[in-house]
Amino acid sequence: MAVGEDVLPALHPIAGLRLGTASAGVKKPGRRDLVVIELAVDATSAGLFTRNAFCAAPVQVARNHLAQAAPRYWVINTGNANAGMGADGLIRAESVCAALAAQTGVATAQVLPFSTGVIGEPLPAERIVAALPAAVAALDADGWALAAEGILTTDTRPKGASRRVRLPGGATLTVTGIAKGAGMIRPDMATMLAFVATDARVGAPLLKKMLVAAAEKSFNRITIDGDTSTNDALMLAATGAVAAELDGATLAALGDAVTEVCTDLAQAVVRDGEGATKFLTIAVAGGSSSAECLAVGYAVAESPLVKTALFACDPNWGRILAAIGRARVDALDVERISVWLDEVLIAERGARAASYTEAAGQDVMARAEITIRIELGRGTCAETLWTTDLSYDYVRINAEYRT
């Protein structure tokens, strides 16, 4: 299940970047499970990685390589996360990088590996290496859509987004990205796998700032089940194919486009959340700090009781109040709190709103996309995040994942 339309938008090619997808048979024979992304010689890259202490081997290798050299290749396999495998996992991840480097004539440190899939099984590196020539032969600037398919695991649909920014001189900058991820998503610094690129020329330090700002409003504001993966990575490349020098206003517009692409991708991940039947926006306002807005937002977004009530289309606003109440906000005055489901005020001054009717609540609950708006009445800070309901299918998918 997934919420909203299943249409991959047009993914504009990025000059200076090509993508090749092949079948390595990592988990299942025949499925396209290997993607190689090639970056121009003078491209810059920035990356954000999981903060899970058990970060997977490819994350360790990617972080290490990124510190040594400007990447020329990103290589992504699905079906196996190469996580929890100790030193052997590192050797296997390095061997994939070395093979691709040898084949393309770059240094091993110029190749970043990414893996997603089951944790705790040896990466079949030899099968991946054997399929690299096919992926390299398939490299194509129009390879985005195939690559979007090639990086999926339990996702039910590919995820991509694209934006264009017109420059004052008439040139156009493009930002395009793809993502995978359907569960185990509670980002902190980065989340699941996402690969975004632009044809602008941007120095690596500035690119990193742009990526951090974008993540903070997109991938760091979504949650499915509170779990943070061992393999999460978010990459942004700038190929420099559009050579124009960018002034402050243009850089800001480019940054906005990157944030928009990341937000589209992050929301697409939530819409495709495991077993999702609803897409929920949790908007918390009136907080005295951003942190307390997020604490309240995540308490609501991750409450199994709130999520099962939403799955059941039950306007059980009491569970929302209970979740707000346990968010550990200092000296929270429940008398100041109001809660809306879309346009319907359901609770005010910490109790059921006088104007609220069960019929009005039911009407909202029938919708596939719902905003829970919470006013704390303590200040001027606000935060928005996105999540899903909790359904039978979430349990089924996660109970059957390895079988």
- From residue 341 to residue 370, what is the string marking binding to a copy of itself with x (rule CB under 8 A)? ------x-xxxx------------------
**In whole angstroms, what is the distance from residue 99 CA to residue 104 CA?**
9
Amino acid symbol at 46 = A
**In whole angstroms, what is the distance from residue 213 CA to residue 399 CA?**
36
In the region spanning residues 94 to 153, those forming contacts with a copy of itself, defined by CB under 8 A, are 118-120
Q: For the CB of residue 248, give the shortest distance to a copy of itself in the complex, in Å.
A: 37
Question: Which window, 41-49, 195-203, 265-273, 311-319, contacts a copy of itself (CB under 8 A)?
Answer: 311-319
Q: For the CB of residue 133, give the shortest distance to a copy of itself in the complex, in Å.
A: 31
- From residue 62 to residue 81, what is the string marking binding to a copy of itself with x (rule CB under 8 A)? -------------------x
Yes or no: say if 72 and 38 are a contact pair by the CB < 8 Å rule.
yes
In the region spanning residues 210 to 249, those forming contacts with a copy of itself, defined by CB under 8 A, are 225-230
Question: Is the Cβ of residue 29 or residue 304 nearer to a copy of itself in the bound state?
Answer: 304
Of 44, 108, 154, 191, the active-site residue reads: 191
- Is 191 annotated as catalytic? yes
Question: Which window, 101-109, 207-215, 263-271, 303-311, contacts a copy of itself (CB under 8 A)?
Answer: 303-311
Q: Which residue has the tokens 């005055």?
A: 333
Element (H, E) at 67: helix 57-68
Q: Which residue has the tokens 């090619």?
A: 13
Coil, helix or strand at residue 313: coil
How many Cα atoms occupy the beta-carbon half-sphere of 51 within 13 Å? 7
Pairing of strands 279-287, 369-375: parallel
**In whole angstroms, what is the distance from residue 143 CA to residue 373 CA?**
40
**In whole angstroms, what is the distance from residue 82 CA to residue 85 CA?**
7
Active site residues: 191
> Interface with a copy of itself by CB under 8 A: which residues?
51-55, 81, 83-89, 118-120, 183-184, 186, 225-230, 302-305, 308-309, 311-312, 314, 316-319, 321-327, 329, 332, 334, 347, 349-352, 390-392, 394-396, 398-403
